[in-house]
Amino acid sequence: MSDYDVIVIGAGLGGISAAALCAKNGFNTVVFEQGDAVGGCCSSFDLEGYRFDTGASIIMLTETIQAIFELMGRRMEDYIELVPCDPIYQVIGHDGSRFTMPMDIAEATSVIERVAPGDVEGWKEFTRIGLAMLDAIGDTMMTPMNTLREMARMQSEHREMVRYMEYFVRSHQSVTQKFFKHPVMESFVAYQSYYAGAPPYLGLGILGFVALMQHLGSYYPRGGMIALPASLQKVGEEFGLEVRKGTKVEKILVEGGRARGVRLEDGSVVSSKMVLSNTNAKVTYLKMVGPEHLKRWAIKAIGSYELSMPIPMIYVGIDTAPPLPAHHTISVGPLEQTNRNWYDYYKRGINPEPCGSLLSWPTESDPGLAPEGHHVLNFVWGGPDPYAPLGENWDRLKPAIKEGAIKELERIVMPDISDHIKFLEVSTPLDFERRLLSPQGAIYGLFLDITSMSLFRPNPRSRVVKDLYLSGASTCMGGGVPTTLASGVIASNYILADHG
Ligand SMILES: Cc1cc2nc3c(=O)[nH]c(=O)nc-3n(C[C@H](O)[C@H](O)[C@H](O)COP(=O)(O)OP(=O)(O)OC[C@H]3O[C@@H](n4cnc5c(N)ncnc54)[C@H](O)[C@@H]3O)c2cc1C
């Protein structure tokens, strides 16, 4: 007799969604989460009266969340309130220009007519092709594409997708440049390549359309980003799911080539019929399973994956309302610099001069996240930054980052912001690793480009250890709220197919 049917390691979005679905499907399921909260990168924490978001700051493509609740026979609206972020963002160009993008596509067209008249036709073509392509892709995010057979099945069920193949094989930059010529529009759409952890020159072309997806719905969950994983935990618990926080898994126990449980940090052993790991796939195989249970080719294959990039985050609490026009402010540098920061700096272990930032103002959507009259700003400044900067140490760099961040906030938010800052903390790649056990602070698991997506990524149904499953940013379509939620659905479907 095993203690559980399914042990899930990690309560990130890919772990908690899979766990809730396994519980709904009748499996006796437990989640071991080493941290003190669920959600991983999509979580929140409270400090000095403010609630900050760990990483993710916005939710798009909410159909995935809807679908998960439907799979559990529940209504999403009964568990989570999603506040629309409209306008979506303010853009600050490298030429000093500022403009604000409304959610409505027709209104956004009027903004582009004003700020980049030469790009109006390009934007209309971008939206026309993008909307048709998203329609053709439909619900494929939750469709498994991890083997050649699954890939072929998906293509035969979505034949019209073939028409848009060029956007799957092009780079993010080439998609951007196909539609946009104005330097700020071009940089702004290209910068979003880093949302998936790659420079525009290498990023996936399909993700060039994130700039359009935002107009189909951008939301912030009331209560902070943690409200999303917490809602999945709640519905999972209604089906008997057990979530044990502050419980670190050290080892996945393998017997006769099958995952049969885990050993926890305190040395205790918990047995199960299956194990689902939501941690970085390199850690899952090379540390938790261990090379002793892997064939040589498997060690080589998993070892060949590159980790995703790290980035510093800055959390700020202020005692006044910032004069910002939107929930997000995106400041962009020239496109070429955005690429150079990857090749000439990050790849060589040097911290680049920040040439872009993403500022989120969550109290605009939910004032309850700060004391009355106070506000929260979560700030991704610059990046990508190396995990081990040459001749430097992240702990030592912190004061300089704080100083630089304040200067940047004075520029993009208000000149006297330092008079209002009541709290400011930096989370470096090293802190990220300490907090989430994310190796080298990697923010999206493994690096994602055309050569490392879907069937080229670690398979959610392990090919090397039976009864071992994987979910999260290291699998399927990589990092992101909808993609990692979808990875949980895919992994739980494999479990149901194999053991239902
Ligand atoms: C700074 C930042 C900004 C982002 N912004 C957005 C955004 O605005 N919109 C968007 O869609 N996406 C965004 N993302 C991406 C998105 O948040 C992530 O891709 C997604 O949340 C990752 O989910 P995951 O399932 O891979 O799990 P993770 O978030 O990686 O969670 C893994 C969990 O496993 C736990 N764990 C690790 N090791 C162990 C162990 N040994 N034992 C037990 N537990 C363990 C960790 O504590 C963690 O809780 C952002 C990410 C970051 C980092």
pLDDT, block means (10 residues), the chain with 500 residues: 97 98 98 98 98 97 96 98 97 95 97 97 97 88 91 88 89 96 94 92 93 96 98 98 98 98 98 98 98 96 96 96 98 93 94 91 98 97 89 93 95 97 96 96 94 92 97 95 97 97
Q: Is the CB of 13 under 6 A from ligand 1?
A: yes
Does the beta carbon of 40 lie inside 6 Å of ligand 1?
Answer: yes
Closest by alpha carbon to 41, among 317, 378, 456, 459?
Answer: 378
The count of other CB atoms within 10 Å of the CB of residue 193 is 27
How far apart CA 346 and CA 458 sit, in angstroms, is 25
Amino acid at position 198, single letter: A
Please give the C-alpha separations between residue 169 and each of 192, 419, 445, in angstroms, as whole numbers.
17, 49, 22
Q: Which numbered atom of ligand 1 lies nearest the CA of 432?
A: 53
Specify the pLDDT at position 160. Answer: 86
Q: Which pLDDT belongs to residue 341?
A: 94
- 468 phi, psi to nearest 5 deg: -110, 130
Provide CATH 3.50.50.60 ranges for the chain. Answer: 4-42+62-81+223-305+442-499
Q: How far is the CA of 40 from the centre of ligand 1 (A)?
A: 4
Q: Do 260 and 251 touch, CB atoms closer than 8 A?
A: no
Single-letter amino acid code for the residue at 75 = R
**How far apart are alpha carbons 401 and 315 in whole angstroms?**
12
Q: What is the pLDDT of residue 355?
A: 85
Closest C-alpha residue for ligand 1 atom 34: 10
Distance in angstroms (rounded) separating the CA atoms of residues 193 and 263:
38
What φ, ψ does residue 88 adopt, rounded to 5°? -75, -50
- Nearest atom in ligand 1 to the alpha carbon of residue 444 is 19
CA distances from 131 to 137, 410, 500 (A): 10, 38, 37
The pLDDT, as a whole number, for residue 353 is 86
Q: What is the pLDDT of residue 475?
A: 97
The predicted pLDDT at position 76 comes to 98
pLDDT at 109: 98
**CB of residue 254 inside a 6 A radius of ligand 1:** no
Gap between the Cα atoms of 419 and 200, Å rounded: 37
Q: Is 354 in the pocket of ligand 1 (CB under 6 A)?
A: no
Q: Provide the CB-side half-sphere exposure for 64 (13 A, CA).
A: 24
User: For residue 9, what pLDDT is reported?
Assistant: 98
Task: Tell me if 380 CB under 6 Å of ligand 1.
Answer: yes
The CATH code of domain 4-42+62-81+223-305+442-499 reads 3.50.50.60
Q: Whose CA is nearest to atom 2 of ligand 1?
A: 55
Q: From the CB of 460, is ligand 1 less than 6 Å away?
A: no
Answer whether 42 contacts ligand 1 (Cβ < 6 A): yes
Pocket test for ligand 1, best of 41, 192, 330 (most atoms within 8 A of CB): 41
Give yes or no for residue 488 CB within 6 A of ligand 1. no
Residue among 405, 10, 462 at smallest CA distance from 229 = 10
Pairing of strands 29-32, 4-9: parallel
For ligand 1, atom 12, which residue shows the shortest CA distance? 480
Q: How far apart are CA 42 and CA 209, in angstroms?
A: 22
Q: Whose CA is nearest to atom 36 of ligand 1?
A: 10
Pocket of ligand 1 contains residue 313 by CB under 6 Å:
yes
pLDDT of residue 285: 98
Angle 267-271-275 from CA coordinates, rounded to 5°? 105
Q: 383 C-alpha vs ligand 1 centroid, how far in Å?
A: 18
> Is 99 within 8 Å of 338 (Cβ atoms)?
no
Q: How far apart are CA 229 and CA 231, in angstroms?
A: 5
- 218 Cβ below 6 A of ligand 1: no
